[in-house]
Amino acid sequence: MITERMTRENLPPGKVLCEYCTAKCCRYFALPIETPDTVRDFDFIRWFLLHERASIFVEDEDWYLMVHTVCKHLQSDHRCGIYETRPEICREYTTDACEYGDDTIYEKYFETPEQVDEYMDATVRQGLRKSIRSPEPPLLPVVNA
C-alpha cells in the first residue's frame, strides 16, 4: 500500500507538521556572513570549508555559513528532548514557513574550497591573473581564387 506523503494542504485538523518530519531544522544551523568581495574575504570562506560539515550558501543575495550538525537534544523519534526548556530561537520557530517538504535550491552553494577558488577566478580574480591560454593567433589572409 502506497501512503500519500503528508503535505501542509492535507494535514489533518489538530495535527502538527513536526509529527511527520525528520527535523530538518534541528540538523544544521546557518549564520549570516559578510558578502565577500575581495580575495581575502573569499580566502576566509575557503578556510571555513576546510572544516568538516560546513558549507556556504547564498539566498536572496545574502551569504551564510551553514554547519551541518545535529542538535544534541534531538531524539531518535525526531522530537526535542528539552522541549519545555528549549532556547528562545527554537520557541520562535514555527512550521508556517519551515523547510518541511522543501528541496531547497540556493542561488549559490559551495561545499569545497576548490569551488570557491573557481568562483573567485570567475569573479574577483578576473583580470588579475594572466591567462594560461595561448594568445589568439592572427587571422589568415583571405585568398581570392
Residue 4 has pLDDT above 70, yes or no: no
112: cell is: 569545497
Confirm if 65 and 59 have CB atoms less than 8 A apart. no
pLDDT band at 130 (very low <50, low <70, confident <90, very high): low
Give the integer Cα–Cα distance in Å for 22 and 35: 31
Residue 102 has pLDDT above 80, yes or no: no
Whole-number pLDDT of residue 3: 54
Residue 120 burial (10 A CB sphere; 0-12, 13-18, 19+): buried
Whole-number pLDDT of residue 29: 95
Whole-number pLDDT of residue 72: 97
* Stated pTM of the model: 0.75
Give the integer Cα–Cα distance in Å for 2 and 91: 34
Give the integer Cα–Cα distance in Å for 11 and 139: 68
pLDDT band at 80 (very low <50, low <70, confident <90, very high): very high
Whole-number pLDDT of residue 125: 74
Whole-number pLDDT of residue 145: 61
Confirm if 53 and 89 have CB atoms less than 8 A apart. no
Give the integer Cα–Cα distance in Å for 45 and 117: 10
Give the integer Cα–Cα distance in Å for 58 and 130: 29
Dihedral, 6, 12, 16, 20 alpha carbons, nearest 10: -30
Confirm if 126 and 33 have CB atoms less than 8 A apart. no
Could you tell me the residue ranges of all domains in the chain? Answer: 18-122
- Tens of pLDDT, residue by residue over 7-53, are 777 888 888 888 888 898 999 999 999 999 999 999 999 999 999 99
Whole-number pLDDT of residue 22: 86
133: cell is: 591560454
Name the DSSP letter for residue 4: P
